[in-house]
Amino acid sequence: MEKQRKALTGVALVTVFLITACGGGSGQSETSPSASAPTDPAKVAGEITVLTNRTDMVTDGTLEKYAAEFNKVYPQVKVKFDGITDYEGEVKIRMNTENYGDVLLIPSTVSRDDYPKFFSALGPAAELSKKYQFTEKGTVAGTVYGLTSFAVVNGFVYNKDVWTKAGVTEWPKTPADFLTALQAVKDKTGVIPYYTNYKDGWPLSGWQGAMGSISCDPKANDKLATSDNPWAPGTDLNVSDTLLFDIVGKKLSEPDPTTTNWEDSKGMLANGKIASMYLGSWSIAQMRDAAEKAGKSADTIGYMPFPTRVNGRFCAPTTPDYVYGVNKHSKQQQAARAWIDWLLDKSTFTSDIQGISSVRGAPLPPALKPFEEAGVQVFELSQADSGKVTTIDNAAEVGLTKPEYRQHLVDIARGAAKGDLNGDFGALAKKWAEAVALGG
C-alpha cells in the first residue's frame, strides 16, 4: 500500500472506501450473501478483481507474484488487480454502484454497522475468532464481514545515524524529551528533525495510532464513544496532538509542509536528510528497502515507541489495519473468499511487509525485535466500540482518521491558520460532545 497508508495499508493489498455517515446508506438490503470458505480448491473457478491502493506493488509485479503462488492452489481462479492512485476518492464513487471489485479493504471511515449493506458474511465471529485476531473490527451482530489484513504498532521511524550524530542514543521517555532530541538533531546536524508528509495527507492520519500508547489502556479507543471531551488535558489525543503541534510550532519540521512528497520522503530518511516520521510499523520494511537502494545498511533505520511510559514501561498497542471484505454483489463469492483466506493463511505478504499477522499464534515480525528486547508492553487495542466511535466521528465531522483534522493543527502551529491549540481542542470537544449526546 503505498498511498493512503500504503500501508496503512502499509500495505494494504486491497482497499475500499465507503460513504455513509450516521447510519446512512445507499438503500441496499442489509441481508448479505455468504462468502463461505471453499473446501475443494479444484472446484473453485472464476475471475476476480482486487482493488488496491498499492499501485507500486501492481507496477513492480509483486501482486502478480502473489497471484502466481495462489494459482498453484487455486488453478482455475484468475486474479486481476486494479491499482488506484486516488483510491478513496475514486472508490467512493464506485460504491454508489454495485461495481466495486470482488475483494477490497474496508476503510476505517465506514461505520461498522453498515458493513452488511455492502459486504458478504464471512462466518460466525465465535468460530473465526478462534483462528484470527482482531475480528472485532469486522464483526456486526456476531457475524464477521471483514478479516484484518494485518496489524501494526505505531511509533517513530528514524535514521539511527542522524540521531547518534546529534548525541541522542536512547529513546526519549517523555514528549519534552522528544522535542529536546529533535532540537539537538536540528542544532548539531542541520537535518530536518521531523517530516509531516502534510501534502499527501494520509501519513498525518497515522497520529491517531497513538491511541492507547499514552494511557497504556486497551480500551482507550472504545472510551471515545462515551467521552464528552477526548481532548481534555492528559488524554491520549491531547498528548499526541500537542506533541505534533509543538514539533511544528518549534520549527522542528520541514520549512514548507505544502511541498512534502511521500515517495521522496523515504529516500530522504534513508539518506539522512530527515531524521524521523510518525508512522505505523508497516513503514519499517519500506524505509529499510529505501536505505538499501541508497547504498546504506538496512540497520540505519530504527523504530521507537511513542515517548511516554506507564509504570516505567513504554506501551505499544497493536491495531488492525484495513480489513478485507467481499463485495456482496460479486458473482464470484467463493473465489473472492479463497483469495482472502490464502493471503492471510498461506502467503508471505504479512512477513514481507513486517506486519503483525492476524493469524493467532504467529510471532511478531523481526522488525519489532527491539521492542521485545526493551520490554515494551505490546497489547491488542480493543475494537469493541469502534463502530460507535466512527459513527460519532462522522456525525461530529471531526475526522479522526482523515488528514484534514491534523493538517489544520499543523496550519495553526505554523501560523497559516487562525486560532490556537486550546481553542482548537475546545471546538473539537464541543462538536464531539454534541454528537455523543445525540447518540451519533
Per the prediction, the chain carries an average pLDDT of 90
Highest mean predicted confidence (pLDDT) among 58-72, 101-115, 376-390: 58-72
Rg (CA), the chain: 21
The whole-number pLDDT of residue 207 equals: 97
pLDDT at 385 over 80: yes
The whole-number pLDDT of residue 321 equals: 86
Per-residue pLDDT tens digits for 210-237: 999 999 999 999 999 999 999 999 999 9
Highest mean predicted confidence (pLDDT) among 55-59, 191-195, 204-208, 354-358: 191-195
**Torsion over CA: 376, 378, 381, 382 (sign):** negative
pLDDT at 88 over 90: no
pLDDT, mean of residues 231-255: 98
High-pLDDT (> 90) share of the chain, %: 76
Per-residue pLDDT tens digits for 29-43: 456 788 888 889 999
Per-residue pLDDT tens digits for 144-200: 999 999 999 999 999 999 999 999 999 999 999 999 999 999 999 999 999 999 999
Higher pLDDT residue, 89 or 146? 146
The strand pairing partners of 148, in sequence order, are 323
**Contact indicator for 322, 112 with CB cutoff of 8 Å:** no
High-pLDDT (> 70) share of the chain, %: 92
The whole-number pLDDT of residue 293 equals: 94
Instruction: Identify which of 302, 208, 203, 212 has the alpha carbon closest to the alpha carbon of residue 253.
Output: 203
The whole-number pLDDT of residue 31 equals: 63
The whole-number pLDDT of residue 393 equals: 95
User: What cell numbers appear for 291 in the block?
Assistant: 536505505
**Contact indicator for 224, 386 with CB cutoff of 8 Å:** no
Instruction: Compute the CA torsion angle 347, 350, 356, 360 (nearest 10 deg).
Output: -10
The whole-number pLDDT of residue 23 equals: 34
Contacts of 367 (CB under 8 A, 6+ apart): 281, 284, 285, 288, 303, 354
Tell me how long the chain is.
Answer: 440
Q: What pTM does this model have?
A: 0.81
**Contact indicator for 231, 214 with CB cutoff of 8 Å:** no
Higher pLDDT residue, 191 or 51? 191
pLDDT at 4 over 70: no
Per-residue pLDDT tens digits for 281-305: 989 999 999 999 999 999 999 999 9
The whole-number pLDDT of residue 198 equals: 97
pLDDT at 9 over 60: no
